[in-house]
């Protein structure tokens, strides 16, 4: 396939080698306008805003993924395969299952469990375990420590269901899974298949154990500055 693709209107070379990928297009716009120098809008198909600018002299892009594994599966696939992107860092929100994680703490997703079926496309003779790029993960740990950020490294659940009729979240917690979001497993699968690098950094936006701490939608768009700065330092 050549570019533009059906989902991205950018030209070849419009994206940097590293792309930050929040779920929300408004968060992508917030990152571009508040953290990047001279950001240029390179994609706005379906309102999924993508920008390229510089951070501390380094060329960096940011583009939204939308919600869920099918959506990030499309955008990350096209970025890896058609636009020469080498690193995608998801900067998202998650719900926490962990007693030590509170709202605004950071989760570095070493691995991504899932109740979805994204990896079935690879026809593997077993169960694939989607994991992060160790090089990005280890550097993210260093950045968290330098910044004094409260963080945990571990497994996260990429769920295909936001409204979970079985209310199964705490069952995953029994296996040490730290929290739940909806995208990372597909991103990690795409990175593995393409031979590229991916990492999910999530800020806890709500807690199964401390619901009184939960953030509003507006707070999720604009208050995750620690996570964003950590991701930008990896670019």
| 3-state per-residue secondary structure call for the chain | CCCCCCCCCCCCCCCCCEEEECCCHHHHHHHHHHHCEEEEEEECHHHCCEEEEEECCEEEEEECCCCCHHHHHHHHHHHHHHCCCCEEEEEEEEEECCCCCCCCCEEEEEEEEECCCHHHHHCCCCCCCCECCHHHHHHHHHHHHHHCCCEEEEEEEECCCCCCCCCCHHHHHCCCCCEEECCHHHHHHHHHHHCCEEEEEEEEEEECCCHHHCCCHHHHHHCCHHHHHHHHHCC
What is the separation, in whole angstroms, between the first and last Cα of the chain?
A: 27
Segments of the chain with pLDDT less than 50: none
Question: Can you give the pLDDT at residue 211?
Answer: 76
Q: How many domains does the chain have?
A: 1
Domain assignment of residue 163, yes or no: yes
Q: Percentage of residues in the chain with pLDDT exceeding 90? A: 81
Domain assignment of residue 170, yes or no: yes
Catalytic site residue from 24, 100, 165, 206: 206
Domain assignment of residue 152, yes or no: yes
C-beta of residue 159 within 8 angstroms of C-beta of residue 115? yes
Question: Can you give the pLDDT at residue 198?
Answer: 98
Q: Is 206 a catalytic residue?
A: yes
Domain assignment of residue 4, yes or no: no
Q: Return the CATH number at 136.
A: 3.40.50.1580
Question: Can you give the pLDDT at residue 9?
Answer: 86
Q: For residue 168, what are the domain limits?
A: 18-233
Domain assignment of residue 3, yes or no: no
Rounded to two decimals, the pTM is 0.94
């Amino acid at each position: 396939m050549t570019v533009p693709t059906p989902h991205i209107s950018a030209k070849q070379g419009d994206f940097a080698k590293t792309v930050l990928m929040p779920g929300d297009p408004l968060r992508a716009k917030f990152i571009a306008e508040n953290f990047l120098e001279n950001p240029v809008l390179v994609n706005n198909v379906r309102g999924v805003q993508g920008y390229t600018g510089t951070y501390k002299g380094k060329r960096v892009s940011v583009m939204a993924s939308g919600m869920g594994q099918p959506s990030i599966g499309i955008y990350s696939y096209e970025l890896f395969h058609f636009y020469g992107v080498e690193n995608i860092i998801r900067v998202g929100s998650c719900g926490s299952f962990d007693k030590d994680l509170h709202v605004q703490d950071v989760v570095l997703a070493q691995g991504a469990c899932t109740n979805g079926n994204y990896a079935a496309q690879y026809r593997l003779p077993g169960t694939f375990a989607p994991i992060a790029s160790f090089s990005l993960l280890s550097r993210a740990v260093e950045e968290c420590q330098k910044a004094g950020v409260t963080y945990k490294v571990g497994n996260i659940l990429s769920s295909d269901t936001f409204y979970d009729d079985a209310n199964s979240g705490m069952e995953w917690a029994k296996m040490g899974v730290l929290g739940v979001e909806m995208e990372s497993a597909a991103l990690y699968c795409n990175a593995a298949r393409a031979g590229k690098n991916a990492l999910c950094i999530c800020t806890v936006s709500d807690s199964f154990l401390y619901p009184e701490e939960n953030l509003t939608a507006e707070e999720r768009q604009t208050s995750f500055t620690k996570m964003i700065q950590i991701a930008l330092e990896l670019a």
